[in-house]
Structure 1
Amino acid sequence: MHKLGISVYPDKTPRDEVYTYLEKAAQLGYSRIFTCFLSIPEDQRETYLVEFKEFMDKAHELGFEVAADTNPEVFTLIGATPDNLKPFYDLGLDIIRMDGNFGTQGDIQLTRNPYGIKIEFNASMDMGVELLINKGGNKDQMTMCHNFFPERYTGMDFDLFMEYNSYWKELNLHTAAFVSSNNENTIGPWQVFCGLPTVEIMRGLPIDLQARYLLATGDVDDILIGNYPASDEELEALSKVNLQAIEMKVDEAEGISDNEKMIMFDYAPHWDRYDHSSFMLRSSMPRVWFKEQKSIQDASVATATDKNIESQSIPYRDPGKKVFTRGDVLIVNDNLAHYRGELEIVLTEIPNDGERNLVATIKPEELMLLDFIKPGHHFKILK
């Protein structure tokens, strides 16, 4: 099950602002929080922990699960050890994300704590997690979360990101990754001005598109916003991302008919045929659905007007191009009546033979999503 999450850094932000942000996110369905324990000031430890416990109480009141970045030094500072996580339990922490380790036996002890605290390991590198499992680690209390990267050009390579996620899924481990707000003057554990994504090519993209790319890979469970605060518009946009189907935004072609709009936007879900073509994605069921919809509408009008109604029609419309290119969204027209209403998305160039109308073009920054739509996979087209 997918979850959406935010990051907050309560030691760097006025409490009222943080709580307002939590309330906004909770109302939109966010259910995870990432925060950082790595900057606990030793001379203010008691005050810091009291305030953090108040923050945890508020987060739990709103239904959030909270993960905090820690390391062995933090354990020492708050009096915890691999075989004694009670100080974290007393704070109410749900997930301990390890930035560092205690060796094989120490990390195994962490995963077998009696408090039900999950231990989150770094998904962006191989930290010997499979060895921990094989040597007695409790997989039920293990989870994976990627790094985020504040410096431009240092985020993960997308292919490597997918390779690691495939590996974690082979081990049946839950995964999380970060997207980044493009809001101005955001912060992380430190001042951040270039965002906090996991994958470098996602930096600067609209936040919902970042999430749609990560989800399209099929191996990412939870999506977390790395920097604070995301704008209200970004929180809402991310909350509306379809977690069950790949969504692609398009630019409509001029002059498309209501029938074509109905097929493109109202039919759901589109899915590529199992007998996949390398030239195009084919969503064939809309042609059946369209015929049925038109029959129902025609019958209704006939009853009301007592007139003969013409059969459904999608007349040919000249798109002004001889060749359709990758990302063109097509609908079969009257010139190939048997397939009339089928929606197709071009993967590689095909000639315009007059049998298909151009109804839209996938936005250039979204074209890579086509690589993830496999035979049978659901997808949706957005205006």
Structure 2
Amino acid sequence: MTKRTLGISLYPDHSDFEQDRAYLDIAAQAGFTRLFVSMLEVQDGKTRVTEKYQRLIQHAHQLGFKTTLDVAPNIFDQLGVSYQDLSYFASLGADALRLDAGFDGHEEAWMSYNPPGLDLELNMSNDVEYLPNILTYGANQPFLYGCHNFYPQRGTGLPLDFFIACSQRFKRAGIETAAFVTAPGATIGPWDINDGLPTLEMHRDWPLAVQVQHLFSTGLIDSAIIGNAYASQTDLQQLGRLNRYHLTFTVTPTAASHPVERQILLDNLHERRGDINDLTIRSTAVRKRYHDANPVNEDRHTFQRGDVVIGNDQFGKYQNELQIVLQPHQDQRKNLVATIAPDQLVLLDAVGPWAKFAFVAAD
């Protein structure tokens, strides 16, 4: 299974090289390793384009980035490049080409055998037999990758069920996948309309870290790429600290919680039981590890979605079991120990059977 990565995007025809370089430096320090560079809006002549892109990609390579150039058929014509000869893009330093628009399947298969060894990233945002068609032409599969579109216009991003169907086609074939998230306040993209640049419409107004956690929680995306530039240094650093393999909820512990409850809450990787229910997310293994007394605390015992509770001494064999509340209910046998940050409540639906999750206390 491919390890998960983080990426950023740059638009050399709409940005300044020194700002791009500084952004790359910050992102590299935060643990980002993928760079998406758009060539869809190239305006300068080939000599100027070559100089501009080589300079940027060379700096990215020095920092350890793998660079993908996003291209469309008109760019090949504009630069005088043949589909059968991708050496020009290799001369820029690119590691991969993303085909914003597809061909007939046979063409992509041929391109996957390009002598420079560039990877070929295919557009994932269509639920059609595009990938199987390419594979039937004997494509060089280790050089094929998948990458979703982003959607600058509000209301045009993919719905979740469609996104899942599209992504499953690539995962079933063992193809590495990527999708885009959008950074609040970032204003640079490929076009004059920029309502954010997510793949999923539901992500458009979510906090950046929540978008990334949600993408990875689907189990269908290997790389999360920030579609717009420039994300803030704080956002980049926060993403760099995220665990990419399980959800981490930010919580505010209650003043009435006992020391053992804080240990159970914060010092463990939790797992939802496989036989799930609609009322709570149950982490049962902790009750087998913690046998400390846990009296009824003085906080409320009427719970709302996103509350974290732990069984107290009145709960018999369920003493010290941790639960995340999904539906409001009341139970004197459970102590309220923390509340999940409101902007992360959307992630509760991503905690499936046997899913792992952890908690971190808010600063």
- TM-score bracket, shorter-length normalisation: over 0.9
- Tell me the equivalent position of 2:288: 288
Larger radius of gyration: 1
Distance 1:27 1:13 in 2: 21
Displacement of 1:276 in angstroms is 3.1
- Tell me the equivalent position of 2:333: 355
Report Cα offsets for 1:176-229 as digits up to 9, x if no partner. 111111025x11113454211111111122110111111111111100000000
Alignment of 1:89-238 (within 5 A): 89-126=90-127, 128-183=130-185, 186-191=187-192, 193-238=194-239
Distance 2:47 2:20 in 1: 20
Unaligned runs of 5+ in 2: none
SS of equivalent residue, structure 2 residue 190: coil
Amino acid at match of 1:159: D
SS of equivalent residue, structure 1 residue 119: strand
SS of equivalent residue, structure 2 residue 105: helix
Conservation of the 8 A alpha-carbon contact between 1:71 and 1:98: yes
- Tell me the equivalent position of 2:321: 342
Moved more, 235-244 or 339-348: 339-348
Change in 2 beyond 3 A, CA 1:31/1:192? farther
**Residue of structure 2 aligned with 1:23, choices 6, 10, 25:** 25
Report Cα offsets for 1:143-179 as digits up to 9, x if no partner. 1111111111111112211221122211211111111
SS of equivalent residue, structure 1 residue 103: coil
Displacement of 1:287 in angstroms is 2.1
Change in 2 beyond 3 A, CA 1:2/1:60? same
Conservation of the 8 A alpha-carbon contact between 2:216 and 2:244: yes
Distance 1:275 1:47 in 2: 61
Distance 2:73 2:317 in 1: 67
| Greater share of helix | 1
Amino acid at match of 1:328: D
SS of equivalent residue, structure 2 residue 164: helix
Conservation of the 8 A alpha-carbon contact between 1:314 and 1:333: yes
Change in 2 beyond 3 A, CA 1:27/1:192? farther
1:275 counterpart = 2:275:
yes
Amino acid at match of 2:107: G
Moved more, 336-345 or 201-210: 336-345
Distance 1:86 1:5 in 2: 24
Displacement of 1:324 in angstroms is 3.2
Amino acid at match of 1:28: A
Amino acid at match of 2:272: D
Conservation of the 8 A alpha-carbon contact between 1:247 and 1:379: yes
Displacement of 1:142 in angstroms is 1.0
**Residue of structure 1 aligned with 2:296, choices 316, 324, 334:** 316
Conservation of the 8 A alpha-carbon contact between 1:79 and 1:87: no
Conservation of the 8 A alpha-carbon contact between 1:82 and 1:102: no
Distance 2:131 2:275 in 1: 38
Alignment of 1:231-250 (within 5 A): 231-250=232-251
Identity of aligned residues (%): 34
1:367 counterpart = 2:345:
yes
SS of equivalent residue, structure 2 residue 23: helix
SS of equivalent residue, structure 2 residue 290: helix
Change in 2 beyond 3 A, CA 1:212/1:274? same
Displacement of 1:231 in angstroms is 0.5
Amino acid at match of 1:316: V
Report Cα offsets for 1:319-359 as digits up to 9, x if no partner. 434x434332110111124332211122334441x211111
Report Cα offsets for 1:348-382 as digits up to 9, x if no partner. 34441x21111123334322322222222101123
Change in 2 beyond 3 A, CA 1:38/1:284? same
Unaligned runs of 5+ in 1: 292-311
Distance 1:342 1:18 in 2: 49
Distance 1:104 1:168 in 2: 15
Conservation of the 8 A alpha-carbon contact between 2:256 and 2:299: no
1:55 counterpart = 2:56:
yes
Distance 2:295 2:147 in 1: 51
Amino acid at match of 1:379: F
Distance 1:360 1:123 in 2: 39
Conservation of the 8 A alpha-carbon contact between 1:192 and 1:227: no
Amino acid at match of 1:173: I
Distance 1:6 1:187 in 2: 12
Amino acid at match of 1:273: R
Distance 1:17 1:356 in 2: 52
Amino acid at match of 1:336: F
